[in-house]
Structure formats: structure tokens, C-alpha cells
């Protein structure tokens, strides 16, 4: 089966784009991820950096990756039940090890767990329309649960939203020193993440996977529609997403990032805008593909996409080394942290291009495929590429 290079590029964009937000999670306390006033106030520079990222990147690239993950589930159906279950179960293991021993911001475990449920829904869907509509419904249920959580949450300030000096010092201590203390804390954070996955985020994640599978099954993610369609659709969806999210960004700023409103109610517009912008970003890449395909950078992005898992883990390794092992944690503000992003991107691109000149797959992708074959009992010779 020939590779869909455009899809590889979109996946590469998603992996690189995720770092725009993750860099804050690596370099700042956990409270800073969504709250620019995590230390009680926000500088104008921090606020503007947060606002622009919230409009164009926050949730969007994770949503894009979930969309592509669902498209991948649709493509994997031909390999059969044993292969898919083994592959996703191994992803769960990779994610667990990543979350416990390296970084508490892991997404692989969540994608693997939700994928184990979603792939059956993809397989059993009667048609594209029902698959797409089910995905939309699941996603909206997740947004609804978010609003419900806001309604039952009191007005008290959550310590994870605006931590006091003691909590900040302790977080800095275990992240910089590592060891058993760090593992214990990452396990606690993992349990909280799994609770959130089951209660709220898992609905949205499953919804985006089903939508991605529907778009792949319909041929949309295979590039089978006209360039004019993709360009028009991309422009409309991106603008619609911005118009939905912009009032919420302004409101959060004006109320000083109040916990109850910012962590719940005003998250909803962002969550609603994310699928629109996500699909819009992908549509623009497809729509302008004849022009984009001429650039060397586009080919490099395709290499990053082909090694998505390797590059995701590589980002964690680089950033954990920089901020936790070299002591750069809490040394930079939001805007300054963005200066690290192009360097990490360059490493991702360079390693991907050089590796794929000699090998067909990234190293972690190769290991994942080999272990999947062993766990499923399906010989590699019986699987398509």
C-alpha cells in the first residue's frame, strides 16, 4: 500500500505543534499549563503569549493528532482483530512507562486505552455518516460533562490552579531530583489523569477518533476531494473556530483567569472550536498541497510524521534533560520557553530525515511493529505496510 505523503505531513505538523504547548509543561509548574496567572498574577507578555497560543494551538494539535489516530484505526482494520488489539495494548504499555519513568504529561496511554474501545466502534459502524455522527455526539458529551463539572465545583481556589510557595518548591524539588520521589508523584498525577480520562476527556478523544476514521473512510483524508473544496472548507472552519474561541479568551483575561470559569465554563468554547480548526488546518494543507509539495521542508515534515512516535518520545527526552536534569525548570516565562521550540523541532526534523534515508521506519515504530507481530501471533509477512 502506497503511503499517503500528505497525511504524513499533517501528522508531522501535529507532532511538532504539540510541543508549542508541551514546552510550558516541561519548563513551568503544572498549574501554568492553562493558567497564565498561576503565581497569582500574569505579566502582559505572559498574557499575550497565552492568548495567541490559546487561539491557534491550545488543544488544536492534540485534537489533530486524535483525528489522525482515528484515521489510522480505520486503515488498520484490514490487519485484523489480533493485530489491532496487540498494537494498542503495546501503546498502553509504552504510555505507562513514559508517564511513570519520564514525564507526567504523556498522551500515549490515553490514546491506547481509548483506541482499544474506539476501534470496535469504527469496525462495526454501518456507514460513514453514522460513524461521523457518533463521533460528534461523543465529543459533545465530553463538552457537556466539562460544563457539568463546572456546575458542581465550588468557588474555592484549587491548589493545582494557583499553588502556594510550598507546593511550587516541592514540585521543583521532585522534578529536578528525580528518583523514587518523582515516580511516586508521577503515579499520583497518572491516577488523576486516568480519572479525568474516564469522566470527561475520554469522550472527546473517542469522538475525534471516530470523526477521523469517518473522514478516512469517506476519502476526505485521502485527498479525494477537489482543491477548491479543501481550501474553502479550511478557511471557513478555521475562521469559525477562531470566532467561537476568541470571546472566551477575552473573557478569561478580563476575569483574571478565575478557576471555576477558566478551568471549566470557558474551556467549553475552546473545546468546541478545536475540531473545527483542526479539520480546517488539515484541509488547508490538502488544499494547497500542489504548492506545498515543492518545498524541501514539506518532505522533511513527512519524515517527522512517519516517525511520529519516535519524535514524540524524543521531544520528552530532550526537554526533560534540558529543564529537569540541567536545572532550567522555572527559569523562563512563556515567551522565553518558545525560543526552545525551534531547536527541538530542528532535532526532530534532522534525525527523521537522516534516519529514513537508511531505514523504512523510525526505531520506536520498528520496535512497536516487531512486538505487535510477536504479541498477536500474526507474521509480519501477512501484514500490509
pLDDT in tens, 139-197: 999 999 999 998 887 665 567 788 989 999 999 999 999 999 999 999 999 999 999 99
Please give the Cα distance from 244 to 242 (Å, whole number).
Answer: 5
Contact between 125 and 190 under an 8 Å Cβ cutoff? The reply is no
What is the reported pLDDT for 1? 55
Choose the weakest-confidence range: 25-39, 71-85, 222-236, 368-382.
Answer: 368-382
What is the reported pLDDT for 39? 86
Tell me the average pLDDT of the chain: 94
**3-class DSSP assignment, residue 222:** helix
Contacts of 349 (CB under 8 A, 6+ apart): 300, 301, 303, 304
Mean pLDDT calculated for residue range 203-213: 98
SS3 content of the chain, % helix, strand, coil (to 5): 80, 0, 20
Please give the Cα distance from 47 to 37 (Å, whole number).
Answer: 8
Put residue 162 in one of left, alpha, beta given phi > 0 → left and psi -120 to 50 → alpha. Answer: beta
Give residue 377's pLDDT band: very low, low, confident or very high (50, 70, 90): confident
Nearest alpha-carbon partner for 52 in 237, 238, 242, 263: 242
What is the reported pLDDT for 385? 44
Please give the Cα distance from 216 to 279 (Å, whole number).
Answer: 12
Mean pLDDT calculated for residue range 217-229: 97
The yes-or-no verdict on residue 2 having pLDDT over 70 is: no
The yes-or-no verdict on residue 301 having pLDDT over 50 is: yes
Contacts of 62 (CB under 8 A, 6+ apart): 18, 21, 107
Contacts of 366 (CB under 8 A, 6+ apart): 359
Half-sphere exposure of 264 (CA within 13 A, CB side): 19
What is the reported pLDDT for 160? 78
Q: Higher confidence at residue 287 or residue 260?
A: 287
Contact between 18 and 64 under an 8 Å Cβ cutoff? The reply is no
Residues 266, 53, 215: CA angle, nearest 5 degrees: 80
Please give the Cα distance from 196 to 265 (Å, whole number).
Answer: 16
What is the reported pLDDT for 158? 66
The string of DSSP letters for 100-128 reads HHT-TT--HHHHHHHHHHHHHHHHH-SSH
Q: Which three cell numbers stand for residue 116?
A: 482499544
Q: Which three cell numbers stand for residue 11?
A: 501528522
Say which DSSP state 42 is in.
-
pLDDT in tens, 309-361: 999 999 999 999 999 999 999 999 999 999 999 999 999 999 999 999 999 99
CA distances to 170, 266, 363 from 190, in Å: 18, 25, 26
Contacts of 91 (CB under 8 A, 6+ apart): 108, 109, 111, 112, 115, 368
Q: Over 241-272, what HEC string results?
A: HHHHHHHHHHHHHHCCCCHHHHHHHCHHHHHH
In this prediction the pTM is 0.95
pLDDT in tens, 86-99: 999 999 999 999 99
What is the reported pLDDT for 80? 93
Percent of the chain with pLDDT over 90: 89
Number of Cβ atoms within 10 Å of the Cβ of 52? 16
Nearest alpha-carbon partner for 279 in 105, 123, 83, 70: 70
pLDDT in tens, 22-67: 999 999 999 999 899 998 888 999 999 999 999 999 999 999 999 9
The yes-or-no verdict on residue 260 having pLDDT over 90 is: no
Percent of the chain with pLDDT over 70: 97
Contact between 26 and 319 under an 8 Å Cβ cutoff? The reply is yes
Identify the residue whose cell numbers are 523510525.
362
Please give the Cα distance from 67 to 112 (Å, whole number).
Answer: 14
What is the reported pLDDT for 87? 97
Q: Higher confidence at residue 335 or residue 384?
A: 335
Please give the Cα distance from 344 to 320 (Å, whole number).
Answer: 12
Please give the Cα distance from 12 to 61 (Å, whole number).
Answer: 10
Please give the Cα distance from 308 to 293 (Å, whole number).
Answer: 20
Amino acid at each position: 500500500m502506497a503511503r499517503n505523503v500528505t497525511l504524513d505531513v499533517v501528522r508531522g505538523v501535529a507532532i511538532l505543534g504539540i510541543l508549542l504547548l508541551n514546552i510550558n509543561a516541561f519548563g513551568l509548574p503544572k498549574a501554568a499549563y492553562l493558567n497564565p496567572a498561576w503565581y497569582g498574577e500574569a505579566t502582559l507578555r505572559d498574557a499575550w503569549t497565552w492568548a495567541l497560543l490559546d487561539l491557534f494551538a491550545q488543544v488544536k494539535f492534540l485534537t489533530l493528532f486524535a483525528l489522525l489516530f482515528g484515521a489510522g484505526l480505520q486503515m488498520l482494520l484490514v490487519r485484523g482483530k489480533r493485530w489491532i488489539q496487540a498494537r494498542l495494548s503495546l501503546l498502553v504499555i509504552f504510555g505507562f512507562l513514559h508517564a511513570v519513568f519520564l514525564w507526567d504529561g504523556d498522551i500515549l496511554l490515553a490514546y491506547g486505552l481509548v483506541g482499544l474501545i474506539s476501534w470496535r466502534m469504527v469496525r462495526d459502524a454501518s456507514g460513514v455518516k453514522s460513524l461521523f455522527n457518533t463521533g460528534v455526539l461523543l465529543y459533545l458529551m465530553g463538552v457537556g460533562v466539562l460544563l457539568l463539572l463546572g456546575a458542581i465545583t465550588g468557588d474555592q481556589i484549587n491548589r493545582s490552579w494557583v499553588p502556594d510557595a510550598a507546593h511550587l518548591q516541592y514540585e521543583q524539588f521532585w522534578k529536578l531530583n528525580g528518583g523514587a520521589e518523582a515516580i511516586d508523584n508521577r503515579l499520583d498525577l497518572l491516577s488523576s489523569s486516568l480519572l479525568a480520562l474516564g469522566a470527561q476527556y475520554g469522550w472527546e478523544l473517542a469522538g475525534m477518533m471516530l470523526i477521523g476514521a469517518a473522514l478516512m473512510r469517506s476519502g476526505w483524508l485521502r485527498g479525494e476531494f477537489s482543491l477548491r473544496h479543501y481550501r474553502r472548507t479550511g478557511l471557513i472552519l478555521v475562521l469559525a473556530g477562531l470566532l467561537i474561541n476568541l470571546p472566551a479568551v477575552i473573557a478569561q483575561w478580563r476575569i483574571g483567569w478565575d478557576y471555576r470559569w477558566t478551568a471549566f465554563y470557558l474551556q467549553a468554547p475552546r473545546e468546541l472550536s478545536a475540531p473545527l480548526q483542526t479539520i480546517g488546518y488539515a484541509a488547508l494543507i490538502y488544499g494547497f498541497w500542489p504548492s506545498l509539495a515543492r518545498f524541501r521542508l514539506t518532505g522533511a515534515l513527512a519524515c517527522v510524521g512517519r516517525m511520529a512516535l519516535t519524535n514524540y518520545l524524543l521531544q520528552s527526552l530532550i526537554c526533560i534533560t534540558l529543564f529537569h536534569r540541567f536545572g532550567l525548570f522555572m527559569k523562563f516565562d512563556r515567551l522565553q520557553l518558545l525560543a526552545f521550540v525551534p531547536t527541538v523541532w530542528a532535532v526532530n526534523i534532522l534525525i527523521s530525515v537522516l534516519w529514513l534515508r537508511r531505514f523504512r521506519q523510525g526505531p520506536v515504530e520498528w520496535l512497536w511493529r516487531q512486538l505487535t507481530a510477536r504479541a498477536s501471533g500474526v507474521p509480519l509477512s501477512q501484514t500490509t505496510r
